[in-house]
Structures are given as C-alpha cells and as structure tokens.
C-alpha cells in the first residue's frame, strides 16, 4: 500500500494521512491507499490524471458511506472555493460555483443577495459539486430547477466541458453523474431569480412553520430561517454536540410506486393507517419511507449494533450515535430496516447515499 504520509511534490499532490472517517459526516470509513487535496478545478484535473486507479472524488462527505476497509486507490479531496456571476439581466442572475464551495455558504449568499431559488435547500451539509449528482432536494425545491449546466472533467476523452442541464438526466435523487465515475464535477451554474421573495412555498410542513398557505411567497430570509429550524429539529443540521447529526441525512429514498403496487401497499397497511403519499406523473405515487420504517417497528431512537441508532428526531436518519461505530454496524441496521419493511409491506427501500467499497 502506498505511504499515505508521503510528502507532497505539487499543490495537487498533497498527501494527507488518516482514515476516511475524518472526512465524512457519518464518521466511519477506513484508510485509503492515498489521499490528495485539490484547491482548484485545474488541480482537481491534474490530481485525477496523475492518480492511480481506482479514484474516489470526495468533498463534503455528507452523502457517502465508506467501507471499513477504506478505499483501495486514490481519494481526491475537492477543496476548490468561490462563486462569480457569469450572466445577468433585470430578472435573473446566473452564478458559477466551484465544486468544493460549502453548499450552505452558497445558499446564505444567494439569500443575502436577493437571489431566489435555493432558499428552501438551506442547512444541507456537503459541497456544491455534490448537489447535481443526486439532484439534491428538500422542502419543495430541488437543484435541477435552477441548474443550467455542470462543468465537468470527462475522464473518458480527457476534456473539460459544460454539460447542459437537459443532458444531466436529472430525476428524483439521481442524475447521470450518480452511478459512474466518468465525469468529475468542477463547477455548477445556477440561474436564480432576482427577487426579495421566495418561490411559491410548496411543502405543507414549511407553509405551516411560516404561518402561510401552500403557494404563498415569503421573504427569502424568512424561508431560510424556517427551513433551518425545521432541519435542526430533525437533527439534519450539523452540530458537533448533537449525535443525531452524525449521519448522512436521509438514508433511504421515498419509494416511487406504480398504481397497482401502491394499492397493494394500502391493503397491507390497512391495520396501521393510510400511507402518506404524493401522486406523480404517469400514475406513479411517491410514498413516505419514514412512515414505512416507523410502522414496521423501527421508531425514533431505535438502537442498532455497535453504537448505531435511528435518530431520536427523524426515522430516516441512521446515526453513528456512539461516535465509535463501524460502517458494518450501520449497514447491519439498514439491512434490518430494509428487510422488515419489505416483509411487512412488500416495498423495497433503496439507499440515498453513495456506498463506497461496501454493499447493503
């Protein structure tokens, strides 16, 4: 195994010792063969070109579960920062944001500048470059609504280019970037409205917190503050003093079912109530994973092996509550939940985070 403490020779080849647990919000993950840091798009490209295969691109570490054996190749830490306006008119502004820019710093800046479109995504941990990968969304907004293009390094042909939003394959918590390593995200372009008011509030829970009706608009700062309060109440805002935040946020996505499967679910759930659901296109129905987990017997605070637990605030978050758990412990808890939900309701839950050198 290469020496992870070797002295760097260039800015893009600064070797950093230590296990990957220190670079993730979950706090688990073993030691890789090598870690290097990159502070700009050019450095990211150079690091990727120079690295031995396989390669893991890691930024905020908020949506990744890394195996206890670490990673058998080079980890490139994305540490690029900054944003600048690349286009504007009387009604909108397009801002280009470096991949390593902390996401909530960006959201705070857009609210402060009177740029609407990201305010309901406040408090989400991680980096900007990660947001198009899983089409980050919360409280009625998702990044696909404002992204106009994603600048990438194409590892297949060695080129640097911008992929238009229409070619990104955005879907519910997914994109062309999520299940492959061809493209390395370098920056993201967002087109935002010049407005002191939020977009129409779409999420009922947020509307109640704001004291408005669904469809109303509120000052940007009010929307951001309400979202931060709601997320903090669910342990979804990073806090070193709150073990519930030692997680990857929601571990499972909300299942999207066809009409027939949804009706079967309703029949199997008749003794515990009506499954919360939201109709979608083509007769598809999205149902609440949190409800399924709870009704399958895994309530808030449910303990798992090795000091893991379901968050005491939110059933969708699986936590390294003790701070000393291993990835294997967390995955064992996740498997128990997945298998029991399937046995009870006939619905299969799928993980939202990216699993690296481990499987569910």
| Average of per-residue pLDDT across 233-239 | 86
Instruction: Give 7-40 pLDDT, tens digit per residue.
Output: 333 333 444 556 999 999 999 999 999 999 999 9
pLDDT band per the 50, 70, 90 thresholds, residue 173: confident
CB 269 within 8 A of CB 345: yes
Question: Is 101 part of the annotated catalytic residue set?
Answer: no
Instruction: Give 44-94 pLDDT, tens digit per residue.
Output: 999 999 987 899 999 999 989 999 999 999 999 999 999 999 999 999 999
Indicate whether 267 pLDDT > 90.
Answer: yes
What pLDDT is attached to residue 18?
A: 64
Q: CA 308 from chain center: how many Å?
A: 20
Cα–Cα distances (Å) from 284 to 173, 259, 278, 281, in that order, read 16, 6, 9, 6
Cα–Cα distances (Å) from 158 to 36, 38, 55, in that order, read 20, 18, 15
Indicate whether 2 pLDDT > 70.
Answer: no
Whole-angstrom Cα distance, residue 220 to residue 115? 8
- Which helix (H) or strand (E) segment is 34 a member of? strand 34-38
Indicate whether 151 pLDDT > 80.
Answer: yes
In terms of phi and psi (left: phi > 0; alpha: psi -120 to 50; beta: otherwise), the region of 315 is: alpha
Question: Is 266 part of the annotated catalytic residue set?
Answer: no
What pLDDT is attached to residue 12?
A: 38
Catalytic residue among 250, 311, 321, 338: 250
Whole-angstrom Cα distance, residue 122 to residue 216? 18
Catalytic residue among 34, 79, 173, 321: 173
Catalytic residue among 98, 101, 119, 352: 352
Indicate whether 166 pLDDT > 90.
Answer: yes
Burial string for 324-351 (b: 16+ CB within 10 Å, else e) reads ebbbebbbbbbebbbebbeeebebebeb
Question: Is 173 part of the annotated catalytic residue set?
Answer: yes
Q: Which residue has the higher pLDDT, 8 or 209?
A: 209
Instruction: Give 189-205 pLDDT, tens digit per residue.
Output: 999 999 999 999 999 99
What pLDDT is attached to residue 324?
A: 94
Our separate counts of H helices and E strands in the chain read: 7, 19
| Average of per-residue pLDDT across 100-113 | 98
What pLDDT is attached to residue 138?
A: 93
Indicate whether 180 pLDDT > 90.
Answer: no
């Amino acid at each position: 195994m290469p020496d992870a403490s070797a002295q760097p020779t260039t800015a893009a080849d600064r070797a950093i010792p230590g296990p990957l647990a220190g670079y993730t919000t979950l706090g688990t993950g073993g030691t890789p063969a090598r870690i290097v840091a990159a502070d700009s798009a050019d450095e990211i490209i150079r690091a990727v070109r120079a690295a031995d295969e396989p390669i893991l691109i890691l930024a905020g570490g908020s949506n990744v579960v890394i195996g206890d054996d670490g990673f058998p190749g080079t980890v490139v830490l994305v540490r690029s920062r900054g944003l600048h306006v690349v286009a504007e008119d009387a009604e909108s502004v397009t801002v280009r944001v470096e991949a390593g820019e902390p996401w909530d710093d960006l959201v705070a800046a857009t609210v402060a500048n009177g740029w609407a479109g990201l305010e309901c995504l406040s408090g989400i941990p991680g980096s900007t470059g990660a947001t198009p990968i899983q089409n980050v969304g919360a409280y009625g907004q998702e990044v696909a609504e404002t992204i106009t293009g994603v600048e990438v390094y194409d590892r297949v042909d060695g080129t640097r280019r911008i992929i238009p939003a229409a070619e990104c394959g955005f879907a519910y918590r997914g994109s062309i970037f999520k299940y492959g390593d061809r493209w390395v995200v370098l920056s993201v372009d967002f087109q935002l409205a010049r407005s002191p008011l939020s977009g129409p509030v779409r999420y009922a829970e947020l509307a109640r917190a704001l004291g408005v009706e669904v469809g109303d608009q509120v000052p940007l700062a009010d929307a951001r503050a309400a979202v931060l309060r709601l997320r903090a109440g669910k342990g979804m805002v990073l806090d070193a003093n709150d073990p519930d935040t030692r997680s990857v946020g929601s571990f499972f996505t909300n299942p999207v079912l066809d009409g027939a499967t949804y009706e079967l679910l309703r029949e199997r759930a008749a003794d515990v109530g009506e499954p919360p659901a939201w109709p979608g296109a083509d007769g598809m129905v999205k149902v609440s994973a949190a409800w399924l987990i709870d009704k399958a017997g895994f309530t808030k605070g449910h303990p798992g092996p090795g000091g893991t637990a379901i968050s005491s605030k939110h059933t969708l978050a699986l936590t390294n509550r003790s701070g000393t758990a291993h990835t294997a412990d967390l995955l064992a808890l996740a498997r128990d939940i997945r298998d029991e939900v399937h046995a009870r309701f006939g619905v299969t839950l799928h993980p939202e985070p990216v699993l690296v050198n481990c499987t569910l």
